[in-house]
Amino acid sequence: MDALSACPGVSLREATQRKLRRFSELRGKPVAAGEFWDIVAITAADEKQELAYKQQLSEKLKKKELPLGVQYHVFVDPAGAKIGGYSQRLPNASALGKIFTALPFGNPIYQMLELKLAMYIDFPSHMNPGILVTCADDIELYSIGESEFIRFDKPGFTALAHPSSLTIGTTHGVFVLEPFNCLEHRDLEYRCCHRFLHKPSMEKMHQCNAVFRPGNVSQQDFAGGDTTSLILDHEYVYTDSLFYMDHKSARKLLAFYEKIGTLNCEIDAYGDFLQALGPGATVEYIRNTSNVTKEESELVDMRQRIFDLLKGTSLNVVVLNNSKFYHIGTTEEYLFHFTSDNSLKSELGLQSIAFSIFPAIPKWSGNTSCIIHSILDSRCSVSPGSVVEYSRLGPDVSVGENCIISGSYVTTTAVLPAYSFVCSLSLKMNGHLKYSTMAFGVQDTLKKNVKTLSDIKSLQFFGVCFLSCLDIWNLQVTEELFSGNKTYLSLWNARIFPVCSSLSDSVTTSLKMLNAVQNKSKFSLNNYKLLSIEEMLVYKDVEDMITYREQIFLEIEEKTA
C-alpha cells in the first residue's frame, strides 16, 4: 500500500475524474455481468414519490444517461412509519427527490444518482454478494493507490470511514476502532470496529477511545469537505458514510422483517443497525431518542429485538485517510458547495454555468453564482452565492445574493431579495393543470413545529414573526390555515402559497407575498386558492415538470449546437 499521498488534493481530483470518465463510458451502453450493479434500488416515501422516481428513471434510460441492462427499481415505504423523507431542509428536491438533484457539471447534466453510481464504479467487481446502503444527499470522494481497490469481501457489515473533526463527529456516526499496529497511516486501511457511536457528544468520543491524536501524517488543508483528509495539529475521529452488508446479514434482516410484519416505528439503518455491531456494542442506545424524528411507543422494544438479532455480527471498517465527505442536504450546504467551495469545484469539475444559456459570470472574490440547465436573458442579473436551476429568467429580473431559484419562469420585472428560496411546481387539480410557487427564506426552518395555534408566533418566515406575516397577507389564524396533522403546525403545512393558472403568474404572485413581508406592506391573499408545501407534493404533476425541463433542454441544445 502507498503511504499517505504527498499531494492529497491533486490525487483526490485525479481519482475522482478517473471514476467519472469510466462511468461516462458506460452511460447508455449495456454492461457485462459483474461489471456493474445487478440491481439499483431507490426508496420512496409514498406512492406519489414512487411514481415521480419511476418517471424520471424512465426518462434517463430513454435518453441513455444510465448504464443499460441493469435492474432499476423504486420501492415505496408501506403506510405508517417512514424510512424515506420529503427533503424539508432542501425543498427544491422535495417534488422530484434528492437522488435526482441536479449537479453543475456534465452533458447531459449529472444528477446525484449518476454521481453516486460513478463514485462507486469500482465496487461491484470487488464485492461479495450483498447490499450497499447509501444516502441520497452526500458525496464521498477518495483516493487510494493505483493498484488498490476497496474490497467488500468480509462476513457481516463493512463501512467506509473518513477522518473528521470532533465537531463533525457529533452529527455523524463515529467508529471506535480496535488497536492497530501500523506505524504510519496509509490511504487505505482495513480495520475492525469495536463499537459504533451514533451522533455522540465530544465527551462520549473521548470516553470510548474514539479520538485519535496527530501522528505521522502529512499536513493537509482542513477547509475542504464536511469531513476531510487527516491534519497534523488537530484531534480527529473516523466518521461514517455508506455501508455494505453481506448476503447472510441481509437474509437475516429480511427474515426478521417478514416475521414481525408491519413496522410501527421509524428504524434508522445507520443508528439502529450499526450500533448493534462489533464486540463492544451495548444496549445503552436503545432508550436514547434524542436523534429520532418522531418517537413511537414501540421503538425501544424494536431496537432491543434488532440488537439481539445482530449482536455478535462484525463491523469491518475501510479507513480512507485521503478522502472527503460532503453533505448537500440543506439549503445552506447546497449554496455553499455549489458557489463558494473551491475544493469540491476542483475535485468534481463543477461549473458556474452548466448546460445553460447565460453570458459569462464575473468572479467575486472566489464566490460566484451557479446556473444549471437554465435559460437567462443576458440583461438579467444574478448575484454571487445564488443557484438557478431548471428556470427561465427574463431581462428585468434581479436575483439577490444567496438565493435558490428552481423550476421557475419569470418574464416580468422582478427583484428577488437576498436569501430568497423560490421553487415552482406543476399541479394537477381536479383534472386541470395549475401552478404554485413556494417562496420563503433559505434560512427558514420548515420542519420547526408547534402544537397549538397560540404558539405559531414562535415560527418565522423570512426572519419575520409568522403572525406578522399572516397580518400582512390578510389571513386569519384558524385551524384551516394548516393542512394535515393539526398537532404539528409548521411552515411546511401552512396554507399560504397561491395557486395560479400559469407558471409565470405563480412566480410573480409568490414574489409579491415575499416582497410584502420584506417591505412590511400589505398584500392580500384572500382571493387566492392557497396550498401548503405538504399539499403541493400531493397535487404535483411530475409529467408536466419533466416536460418543462425537456423544453429548456431542447432549446439549449438547439442554441448551443
What secondary structure letter does DSSP report for 441? E
What is the C-alpha separation between 243 and 135, in angstroms, rounded?
Answer: 10
What is the C-alpha separation between 526 and 517, in angstroms, rounded?
Answer: 16
HSE of 202, CA atoms in CB hemisphere, 13 A = 7
Q: What is the pLDDT of residue 83?
A: 65
Give the 3-state secondary structure of residue 214: coil
From residue 231, alpha-carbon distances to 8, 42, 104, 125, 323 in Å are 11, 36, 29, 32, 12
From residue 141, alpha-carbon distances to 14, 166, 300, 426 in Å are 11, 20, 35, 35
Q: What is the full per-residue pLDDT of the chain (561 aa) written as tens digits?
A: 343 444 667 899 999 999 999 999 999 999 998 899 999 999 998 888 899 999 999 999 999 999 999 999 999 988 776 667 789 999 999 999 999 999 999 988 999 999 999 999 999 999 999 999 999 999 999 999 988 999 999 999 999 999 999 999 999 999 999 998 776 778 999 999 999 999 999 999 999 999 998 863 433 333 346 655 544 458 999 999 999 999 999 999 999 999 998 888 888 999 999 999 999 999 999 988 776 666 567 899 999 999 999 999 999 999 999 999 999 999 999 999 999 999 999 999 999 999 999 976 665 555 689 999 999 999 999 999 999 999 999 999 999 999 999 999 999 999 999 999 999 999 999 999 999 999 999 999 999 999 999 999 999 999 999 999 999 999 999 999 999 988 899 999 999 999 999 999 999 999 999 999 999 999 999 999 999 999 999 999 999 999 999 999 999 999 887
DSSP H or E run through 238: strand 237-246
Residue tagged 417591505 (cell numbers): 519
Q: Which residues contact 376 (CB under 8 A, 6 or more apart)?
A: 356, 357, 358, 382, 388, 391, 392, 393, 397
Q: What is the pLDDT of residue 230?
A: 47
From residue 485, alpha-carbon distances to 38, 289, 434, 557 in Å are 40, 22, 25, 45
What secondary structure letter does DSSP report for 111? B
**pTM metric for this prediction:** 0.93
Q: What is the pLDDT of residue 3?
A: 38
Q: What is the pLDDT of residue 158?
A: 98
Q: Which residue spans within 312-419 are E strands per DSSP?
A: 315-320, 323-327, 353-354, 370-372, 375-376, 381-382, 387-389, 392-393, 397-399, 404-406, 409-410, 414-416
